[in-house]
Amino acid sequence: MDPGLYIAAAGMVAQQVRQDQLTNDLANASTPGYKADHSTQQSFGELLISNTLTDQPIGGLQTGVRISKITTDLTPQPLDPTGQPLDFGIAGSGFFAVRTGQGVRFTRDGQFRSSVQGLLVDGNGDPVLSQAGATIRVSANGTVPASAIGVFNVNGAAKEGYNLYTGTPAGRAAGVVRKGELEQSAIDPVRTMTDMISSLQAYQSGQNAIQAINQTLQTSASSVASESGGA
């Protein structure tokens, strides 16, 4: 089998992963506190090519790339004022904590609301927690003081979905909770669209390479069959 097929296919798989990430980023361009994922590509290594007649090495051939790891950029973003009494943002490092059905999770999205029970909850209806791990009650006038909301250091923060993170809480973070503000999404839509176009072009290049190699193999096979028939 022509190694070029494997090289092109590996590149296409890597670009597909990148396309999925960029699509998700673009969908969250307006999600408060959203952080982008970044995939790191790594070469499979180099294949030594030798002369088939003399068995002497004549050079190397890269054997394609793979996604070696995916990381999330947790750099804090600026806060935008909203004037909403239950919107909160963290200026600096740290996470809000919410109690989900799967346990405590962490988020930078402070777009909260009041539940039917009068508790401060996130967009999924999960209770927001104080620094002591208790639920927080919304006052009769529909407000909550910023000081009532916990802000946590989180070791090993890993994105889980719905703008939530898993990890191990490690005390109070240095970030300050600001009332009536929300953290901007880390996504620049224009740059993300540009990256998507670049990734799609790389994917299409892989497709074209596979088509060209396939055509060459078919031509070679036809030529061999023709010569064998003539003999």
Residue 109's pLDDT is 97
Residue 65's pLDDT is 63
* Domain spans of the chain, in order of start: 3-72+187-230, 79-183
Residue 41's pLDDT is 60
Which residues lie below 8 Å from residue 221, measured CB to CB, with a gap of 6+? none
Residue 81's pLDDT is 98
pTM of the model: 0.73
Low-confidence ranges of the chain (pLDDT < 70): 1-6, 40-68, 217, 220-221, 223-231
What are residue 96's DSSP bridge partners? 107
| CA neighbor of 128 nearest in space, from 104, 145, 157 | 104
CB neighbours of residue 79 within 10 Å: 20
- 8 Å CB contact between 63 and 7: yes
Provide the angle, in degrees to the nearest 10, between the axes of the packed helices 3-27 and 189-230: 160
Residue 195's pLDDT is 87
SS3 for 222? helix
Q: Phi, psi at residue 125, to the nearest 5°?
A: 85, 10
- 8 Å CB contact between 196 and 26: yes
CA-to-CA distance for 21 and 28, rounded, in angstroms? 11
CA angle 88, 107, 29 (to 5 degrees): 80
Q: Which residue's structure tokens are 């023709």?
A: 226
